Amino acid sequence: MTYSKGLYGPSYIFKSIDKGNTFFEITPPEITAPQNADSYIQKIAVDYKNENIIYVATAGGVFKSENGGDSFFKCGLDGEVVRTVAIDPANADIVFAGTKENGLFKSIDGGMNWEAANNGIEAIDISYLTIDQKNPKTIYACTEPNKIYKSVDGGNSWEEWLESCNPTFLTVDPNDSNVIYILVGEFGMSPYKTIDGGKSWTHIDVGFPFVYTIYINPLDSKNVFIGTPRGLCLSKDQAETFQCYREQFINNFLITAVACDPSNPTIVYAGTDGGGLYRSLDGGETWEYSCKGIRALFVCKVAVDPENNNLVYCGTRGGGLYKSEDFGKNWVIKDLPLSPFCFLSIEDIIFFPADPSKVYIGGSKLFRSVDNANEWSEMFYSNGDSIYTFNVALDPQNENVIYVDNSKSEDGGNTWQSFLPPVVQPGTNYVSELIVDPKNPETIYMAFRWNYIFKTVDGGKNWIEISSSIPDSAKETLCSSLALDQVNSDIVYAGFNGIYKSYDGGNNWSLKGLEGKNVISLLVDPKNSNIVYAGTLLDGVYKSIDGGENWFELNEGLSNKTIYSLTIDPKSPARIYAGTSSGIFCITQSYPEIKEARKMVDPFRLKVTGSNFHSDLKV
């Protein structure tokens, strides 16, 4: 049996009973994310000897199933953010749970009762737990910010074993307890290995500075898998040398989880960062997509056809492209090349303004349709670093000019050239927003995920940074968002920790509220530039009707408050679509209807009659 969990949003659990050929969801209604939780399911642990026993660590406690996921019940630590859970391989009644704020807990009766097990542990944030399979009394606990603790008596007492910056992961060779792999460093992603039980360490070089996971084949521990931002690397000599596989993961190169079939080590599964699950039947040499039955709810982009607002498109991470012809009431998946079913991640959807039947999508691949997304052709593109694209932009006056992240084509996508500010090196930063001024197409804004904004006024020949006046404290967030006023393109909005507004094309910025909110999507009403929408991480949608001077929540009916995409119906601007990690939400706002406005005798009085008035109405 194979279990898979979602990484984002109010997560979901899927199960396969046919070696990953098909999956079905087993997330019970009891495991539901609160509105302020962006990643609810933290970890899944399955009993080594009884596959029907499953523990799920969540942001609201520990859940357990005793029947293979047919039903779950909460078994303790209610209200705790449980980051990790581990089952004793020799005694399944012994379970450990690491929490974010209250340290380590232990149960000796299968999760029915829990007691603190922090004797010797000074930290309260337990990020990862590992039990030595060969010696189950030996347990390791990674804690934030900088220590790993070790117990040799089954968790009754602990001692500091290693001090290192931000330890996030540890795994022990199941055949040799002296061989241990860890992830540490500033971001908790630098791999190290010891072969003497921690007395000395060596850095593991896989060709990438950061890695996401390490997995040891339990039946042949010489085979070590390492997940990287650019695919999966396999070593057959205990992490001395590696063969890396990238192109086979066409949906997403970023590998976050690896597992082998315990009865057949040639069957290997690799999970990606929102790009679905892959399977190898030959020990990791070749890979195939294995997501049939796993529904994709992570919506990266929503787009409405500017001429026919019945047509709404939805780009998902790992689930491909969906199209609705009835304002989003019903959806059908659109077949793309290389995607027999939910195959590709779609990060961006762009219409050519002069002819909206021409649609471009970016993500796992770059595609173009010239017939309202009925037929697609792949545009062969590489930016010198990755074929995965996050942003697509078009010159509204010349359809041959296409921008994709850090590359530019002037011949309709046949050839590409670098399109980066000279101070930014390829592969060192991700473009989070790419916007072409619709009135002055030579003016382009480029925002980076590490919070720099650049601008060019000559089509990319020269660049200037325009974000230096925004305080560094506001730019501590990992994402930035941009939006242009469609009426006056000198007005630019930038979302960081709070919202900043420029009236002079980015030369100067002023704070416009929402301090403390991580603003990850922005939208300016194209017909009324005083109306601005802001999508946030965990706090939902905010709306301003006075150009950002004041904001109010617009969250009625919104059960997921992390907003990755905001889109307005161009013909009915009261209708707003929000893309989240659990699907699309739509709201049709009730605007006031003024039937009559009559000046009274008193020159300071105005009588207005109508309907749908509210406190935000200004006359």
**DSSP state letters, 394-459:** EETTEEEEEEETTEEESSTTSS-EE---TTS-TTS--EEEEEE-SS-TT-EEEEETTS-EEEESST
Q: Is the pLDDT of residue 307 over 50?
A: yes
- Determine the length of the chain: 619
Task: Give the architecture-level CATH label for domain 2-163.
Answer: 7 Propeller (2.130)
**Mode of pairing for the β-strands spanning 481-484 and 583-588:** unpaired
Q: Is the pLDDT of residue 383 over 60?
A: no
Query: What band does 183 get if pLDDT is binned at 50, 70 and 90?
Result: very high
Q: Is the pLDDT of residue 182 over 70?
A: yes
pTM of the model: 0.64
Average pLDDT estimate for 158-182? 94
Residue type (1 letter), 339: S
- The number of beta carbons lying within 10 Å of the beta carbon of residue 18 is 10
Average pLDDT estimate for 222-227? 94
Q: What are the CA-CA distances from residue 491 to residues 185, 447, 463, 533 (Å)?
A: 40, 16, 19, 15
Least confident of 94-98, 338-342, 432-436: 338-342
Taking only the tens place, the pLDDT of each residue in 109-150 is: 999 999 999 999 999 999 999 999 999 999 999 998 889 999
Q: What are the CA-CA distances from residue 459 to residues 400, 441, 443, 480 (Å)?
A: 14, 7, 6, 22
Specify the pLDDT at position 609: 57
Least confident of 35-39, 122-126, 170-174, 207-211: 35-39
Strands (E), 132-223: 139-144, 147-151, 159-163, 169-172, 180-184, 190-194, 202-203, 213-216
User: Edge-to-edge, what's the strand order for the sheet holding 492-496?
Assistant: 481-484, 492-496, 498-502, 510-511
**Three-state secondary-structure class, residue 172:** strand
- How many DSSP H helices and E strands does the chain contain? 0, 56
Specify the pLDDT at position 6: 47
Taking only the tens place, the pLDDT of each residue in 509-564 is: 999 989 989 899 999 999 899 999 999 988 899 999 999 999 999 988 887 788 88
Q: In the chain, where are the structural domains located?
A: 2-163
Average pLDDT estimate for 314-329? 76
- Asked whether 376 and 363 are in contact (CB, 8 A), the reply is no
Taking only the tens place, the pLDDT of each residue in 24-58 is: 777 766 665 444 444 467 888 888 888 889 898 98
Q: Is the pLDDT of residue 203 over 50?
A: yes
Cα–Cα distance measured from residue 145 to residue 81, given in angstroms and rounded to the nearest whole number: 17
| Residue from 285, 259, 258 nearest 272 by CA | 258
Specify the pLDDT at position 302: 79
Query: What band does 493 get if pLDDT is binned at 50, 70 and 90?
Result: very high
Question: Which residues fall within 8 angstroms of residue 264, CB to CB, at 6 or more apart?
Answer: none
What is the chain's mean pLDDT, rounded?
83
**Three-state secondary-structure class, residue 104:** strand
More confident residue, 325 or 296: 325
Taking only the tens place, the pLDDT of each residue in 439-480 is: 999 999 998 876 789 999 999 999 999 988 888 888 776 667
